[in-house]
């Protein structure tokens, strides 16, 4: 192993590296939904095609994230994040030059490999450099917010860039940003030679503390957390996958306007990630999850209703739903750190991320098929509302932390 020092000496540097790659990673994931209406028009895609594309991308992440988490327990986590950044850069450049939809489909699957690296690896290293559960929620919220702000900038700028240049130019621009982030890491952050691997004594101590502190965690508790994560992934993808298309096809606004409006969802999400610590501190992690899913369920139920078609009302729902859904992620991931052993958190986060994305895969494919059959995107949000309501009921059975 090349690294020599313990990351706890450099928690701010670890957080900075994670925040940098989170901004790049999440911004890159916003490009496809941001340009989706243009992609649908250029290649004559159906709602079913859209659902299959999203499901395929997410399926790759489901398969690879446990592996990436396992690698995070064996190698320098921050180096792995840089590799992920490069694997975002490469397929995005290829997409810029792609001439057919099958090429774009394949290159997006390659991109999914790079995207799969970030979440299990970054949350593993962040969980290891912060010990207190609620402070860990704050750290993960800061990292999450950086990704959300990257996501926000991508959505906000996508319609404008596509209007003046082309949707292909967005992939080129964000691909170059990914390369720039990798270079910053290699030339500056990596010189600190950081690792989060603890000494054998610290490993043993952490495991003892974890066992003493959380004997109440049972197999039933873990099953409940897994089910909540599945609902989380499905609820999140309900908005991300189809909303820009809903705004152009149903509400009848331009692609640039739909991207700008949907960016509010992400902006509210960034604020939610940042403030999740304060909500969790005040009412507890479990109650925070239950409350946030309840608000998301109401938002998804109301969003497609005809009496809600005014832009101002849709913006209010997007703001509220974005805030609560993004705020839920740091809370859930902090709970996972309480359950997982110190040294095996990479594998644990890889598993949890895959479980979360399984919900996204199912929601993407099934919703695409339902919308195609019904020829109405409204059904996507009603399905999402039912899933979020299920999460409300299940989350009440989570361990109290």
Per-residue confidence band for 6, with pLDDT thresholds at 50, 70 and 90:
very low
pLDDT for residue 203 is more than 60: no
Question: How many alpha carbons fall within 13 Å on the CB side of residue 59?
Answer: 10
Average pLDDT, the chain: 78
CA distance 339 to 334: 9
Q: What per-residue confidence (pLDDT) applies to 136? A: 63
Domains of the chain: 5-395 (1.20.1250.20)
What contacts 134, CB < 8 A, 6 or more positions away? 277, 280, 281, 285, 334
Please identify which residue in the block is written with the tokens 């020829």.
375
Encode pLDDT of 51-89 as tens digits: 889 889 888 988 888 888 778 777 777 888 889 889 999
How close are the terminal C-alpha atoms of the chain, in Å? 36
Distances (CA, A) of 180 to 142, 143, 176, 346: 21, 19, 6, 26
How far apart, in whole angstroms, are the C-alpha atoms of residue 268 and residue 71?
33
User: What pLDDT score was predicted for residue 213?
Assistant: 45
CB atoms within 10 A of CB 380: 30
Record the tokens describing residue 130, joined without a space.
Answer: 């912060």
pLDDT the model gives residue 209: 41
What pLDDT is attached to residue 8?
44
pLDDT tens-digit series, residues 215-242: 445 566 677 878 888 888 888 888 888 8
Whether residue 391 has pLDDT greater than 60: yes
Asked if 149 and 23 count as a contact pair (C-beta separation under 8 A), the reply is yes
pTM of the model: 0.70
pLDDT band at 382 (very low <50, low <70, confident <90, very high): very high
Max mean pLDDT among 66-80, 86-100, 282-296 falls in: 86-100
- The dihedrals phi and psi of 115, each to the nearest 5 degrees, come to -65, -35
More confident residue, 210 or 28: 28
* pLDDT tens by residue, 128-141: 776 555 566 667 67
In 207-339 the beta strands, taken as DSSP E runs, fall at: none
3-state secondary structure of 6: strand
Q: What is the pLDDT of residues 153-193, one digit of tens each?
A: 888 888 778 878 888 888 999 999 999 888 888 887 776 65
CA atoms of 65 and 360, how far apart (whole Å): 14
The angle formed by the CA atoms of residues 136, 141 and 144, to the nearest 5 degrees, is 125
- pLDDT tops 70 at residue 361: yes
**DSSP string for residues in 332-399:** HHHHHHHHS-STTHHHHHHHHHHHHHHHHHHHHHHHHHHHHHHT-THHHHHHHHHHHHHHHHHHTTSP
The CA radius of gyration of the chain, in Å to the nearest whole number, is 20
State the Cα–Cα distance between residues 379 and 304, nearest whole angstrom: 8
């Amino acid at each position: 192993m090349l690294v020599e020092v313990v990351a706890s000496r450099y928690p701010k540097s670890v957080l900075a590296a994670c925040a940098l790659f989170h901004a790049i990673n999440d911004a890159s994931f916003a490009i496809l939904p941001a340009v989706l209406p243009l992609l649908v028009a250029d290649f004559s895609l159906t709602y079913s095609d859209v659902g299959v594309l999203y499901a395929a991308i997410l399926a790759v992440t489901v398969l690879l994230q446990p592996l990436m988490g396992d690698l995070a327990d064996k190698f320098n986590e921050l180096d792995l994040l840089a590799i992920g950044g490069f694997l975002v850069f490469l397929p995005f450049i290829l997409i810029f030059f792609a001439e057919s939809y099958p090429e774009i489909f394949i290159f997006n699957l390659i991109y999914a490999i790079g995207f799969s690296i970030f979440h299990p690896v970054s949350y593993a290293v962040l969980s290891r450099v912060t010990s207190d559960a609620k402070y860990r929620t704050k750290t993960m919220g800061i990292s999450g917010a950086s990704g959300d702000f990257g996501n926000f900038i991508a959505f906000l700028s996508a319609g404008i860039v596509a209007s003046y240049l082309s949707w292909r130019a967005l992939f080129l621009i964000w691909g170059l940003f990914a390369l720039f982030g990798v270079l910053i890491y290699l030339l500056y952050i990596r010189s600190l030679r950081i690792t989060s691997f603890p000494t054998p004594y610290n490993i043993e101590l952490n495991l003892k503390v974890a066992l003493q502190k959380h004997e109440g965690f049972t197999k039933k508790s873990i099953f409940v957390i897994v089910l909540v994560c599945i609902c989380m992934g499905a609820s999140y993808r309900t908005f991300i996958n189809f909303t820009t298309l809903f705004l152009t096809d149903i509400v009848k606004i331009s692609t640039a306007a739909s991207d700008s409006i949907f960016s509010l969802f992400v902006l509210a999400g960034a604020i939610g990630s940042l403030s999740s610590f304060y909500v969790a501190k005040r009412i507890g992690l479990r109650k925070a999850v239950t409350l946030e899913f309840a608000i998301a369920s109401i938002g998804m139920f109301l969003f497609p209703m005809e009496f809600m078609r005014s832009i101002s009302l849709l913006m209010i729902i997007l703001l509220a739903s974005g805030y609560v859904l993004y705020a839920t992620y740091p809370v859930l991931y902090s709970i996972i750190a309480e359950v997982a052993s110190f040294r095996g958190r990479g594998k644990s986060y890889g598993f949890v991320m895959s479980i979360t994305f399984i919900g996204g895969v199912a929601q993407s494919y099934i919703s695409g098929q339902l919308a195609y059959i019904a020829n109405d995107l409204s059904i996507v949000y009603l399905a999402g509302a039912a899933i979020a309501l299920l999460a409300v009921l299940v989350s009440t059975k989570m361990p109290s932390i």
